[in-house]
Every structure is written in structure tokens, then in C-alpha cells.
């Protein structure tokens, strides 16, 4: 290559450099402008589930949600509360879907227009927990109301969640069916923890007291001290879970499409198999029963 040709090429490149720099700047500006939109799209690929503490403290969500995310690409953020609080969170529009276990409250939530169709997902059961020494003499029974009556008559310490959760609602039904008002009299034997199932079991363990728990959380609970399952098997202890997508007519920002994918998945064969596959020590904790 001659010196003259080299000079001509250098001159041509020098002329083009401003144009190239301009194109690069325009491209960088366009990319910078697009980044917020790209980030927003990525951020939209998650939903918020307001759910009961039992789905979290039993370990179910640690097993279930990664499977859902892997299959759909949708991440899940969980707000674990008592059922009453979870429904209140959804009423305020702070969740996209609810996954709870108080059928009466769930149906009211839908009837009031806060949720779309309720779908049944799975079940397990409640159990009556108490000290192995069993001063109320209820061990081996299968009648929950008879057990609570004996605890009340013996004025043995009983710890209630007292948090308007699905478990608390069930407990209150059982007291009513037993014809016992645990708040009457001096009430010193009846305590309310105002907290989730795990903390309530901790209080019961410290007090050597009776309580009612969902079986799944009990099986995942380690700080049992002298506590054991004393009463089980009563059909009234049946514990049904349901899923409801929050109504976007109430809260337009709700991610209905993504939430619906979760609701559809959890009742699908893939979701139901994932639920059935969650076991502790070989024992299945939840039993899928979604309608075909």
C-alpha cells in the first residue's frame, strides 16, 4: 500500500469518525431510554400471594413455589399471615392472589367482590396437641368438642392463636359446638398468643399447655418439649384450603393474568402432583383435591 493511499484512507476515516460517534451516542441514548422499560417488564414477572402461616411454616411453599417458578418463569413473593389478615391484605389490593383455609371467610370475600372464583386446592386436618402427662385426660379420643370440654372443666392451660386465622376460626367453632365460652369466668386458663401457628406452639411448649394446630405445621415443628398429638380423627377437624385471584375490578393494578396462571397451575395435574410430593419423614402433609 502506497503512502498516498494510506493518507487517503486516513482522511476518509477521519471524516467518518464524527458520524460514527454520533451513531454510538444515539444508540447509547436509545438503550438508556429502553432500560427502564426492560427492567419494568422483568419486575412484572412476579406475583404476591397472601397466605396462611401454615403453608409457609409447614415448609410447603419452600417445596411448591420453586417448582411453579421453574415451570412458568413467574416468581412468587409470599405474605404469610393468619387467614383473616391475608384476606384483609388482599382487600386493600396488596396481593394478587390469596391461598388460605377458611371457606366461610373465603366465600364472603368473593361475594363482596374482592375476589374472583374460589377453587379448592388441597386439605389436611387439625389435631389437638397437649402435654403427654395429659391432666385433662383426653388422650386417644376422637371427639374434638368432648376434648375441649374436658380441658375447660379441668381449667388446664390452653393456648389459642387468637389472630383471626383459619385455625383460630376453626377453634372458635369447636368451642361453640362444645357449648363452652372460654372467655367466661376468670379465664386464666385460656391464653391468646395473637400470633402464627409456630409461635403459638412455642408458647404451648413453654407452658405445657393444650392447643389446636394444623397437622402439617405440627409435623414441621421441632420445639415440641413434652407435647404430643392427643386427639385426632374427628371429621370436624377437616381442613380445606382454597385459592382466589384478587378481582382487578377492585384493584386495577393487580396482576390478574400472572395470578391466574398460579391459580390454574396449583389445581392442575402438575400442581397437584407437586403438593402430593411434599413429605416429611415419609409422611404426606397435604392432600390435593382440586376438582377436575
User: Read out DSSP for 229-242?
Assistant: EEE---GGGEEEEE
Query: Quick one: which of 132, 137, 124, 126 has its CA closest to 224?
Result: 132
pLDDT score for 31: 46
| Burial label, 241 (beta-carbon count in 10 A; 0-12, 13-18, 19+) | buried
pLDDT score for 291: 87
pLDDT score for 259: 98
Which cell numbers in the block locate residue 64?
A: 411448591
pLDDT score for 38: 43
User: Any residues with CB less than 8 A from the CB of 266 and at least 6 apart, and which?
Assistant: 64, 68, 99, 121, 243, 272, 275, 290
Q: pLDDT per residue over 35-44, tens digit each?
A: 454 444 445 5
Q: Are 98 and 244 in contact (CB under 8 A)?
A: yes
pTM of the model: 0.81
C-alpha to C-alpha distance for 160 and 16, rounded to whole angstroms: 79
Which cell numbers in the block locate residue 59?
A: 415448609
Taking 70 as the pLDDT cut, the residues of the chain under it are 1-44
- Vertex 129 angle, CA 123 and 134, to 5°: 150
pLDDT score for 20: 43
Q: pLDDT per residue over 243-265, tens digit each?
A: 999 999 999 999 999 999 999 99
Q: Are 163 and 85 in contact (CB under 8 A)?
A: yes
Amino acid at each position: 500500500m502506497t503512502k498516498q493511499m494510506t493518507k487517503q484512507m486516513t482522511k476518509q476515516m477521519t471524516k467518518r469518525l464524527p458520524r460514527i460517534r454520533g451513531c454510538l451516542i444515539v444508540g447509547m441514548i436509545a438503550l438508556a431510554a429502553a432500560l427502564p422499560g426492560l427492567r419494568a417488564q422483568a419486575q412484572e414477572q412476579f406475583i404476591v400471594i397472601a397466605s396462611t402461616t401454615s403453608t409457609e411454616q409447614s415448609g410447603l411453599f419452600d417445596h411448591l413455589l420453586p417448582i411453579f417458578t421453574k415451570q412458568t418463569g413467574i416468581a412468587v413473593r409470599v405474605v404469610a399471615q393468619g387467614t383473616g389478615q391475608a384476606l384483609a391484605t388482599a382487600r386493600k389490593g396488596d396481593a394478587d392472589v390469596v391461598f388460605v383455609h377458611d371457606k366461610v371467610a373465603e366465600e364472603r370475600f368473593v361475594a363482596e367482590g374482592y375476589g374472583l372464583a374460589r377453587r379448592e386446592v388441597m386439605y389436611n386436618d387439625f389435631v389437638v396437641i397437649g402435654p403427654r402427662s395429659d391432666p385433662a385426660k383426653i388422650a386417644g379420643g376422637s371427639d374434638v368438642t368432648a376434648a375441649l370440654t374436658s380441658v375447660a372443666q379441668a381449667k388446664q392451660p390452653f393456648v389459642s392463636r387468637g389472630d383471626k386465622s383459619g385455625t383460630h376460626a376453626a377453634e372458635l367453632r369447636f368451642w361453640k359446638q362444645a357449648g363452652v365460652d372460654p372467655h367466661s369466668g376468670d379465664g386464666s386458663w385460656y391464653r391468646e398468643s395473637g400470633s402464627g401457628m409456630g409461635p403459638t406452639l412455642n408458647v404451648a411448649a413453654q407452658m405445657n399447655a393444650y392447643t389446636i394446630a394444623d397437622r402439617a405445621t405440627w409435623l414441621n415443628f421441632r420445639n415440641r418439649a413434652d407435647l404430643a398429638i392427643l386427639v385426632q380423627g374427628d371429621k370436624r377437624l377437616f381442613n380445606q384450603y382454597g385459592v382466589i385471584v384478587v378481582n382487578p375490578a377492585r384493584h386495577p393494578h393487580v396482576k390478574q393474568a400472572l395470578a391466574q396462571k398460579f391459580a390454574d397451575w396449583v389445581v392442575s395435574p402438575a400442581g397437584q402432583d407437586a403438593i402430593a410430593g411434599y413429605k416429611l419423614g415419609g409422611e404426606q402433609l397435604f392432600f390435593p383435591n382440586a376438582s377436575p
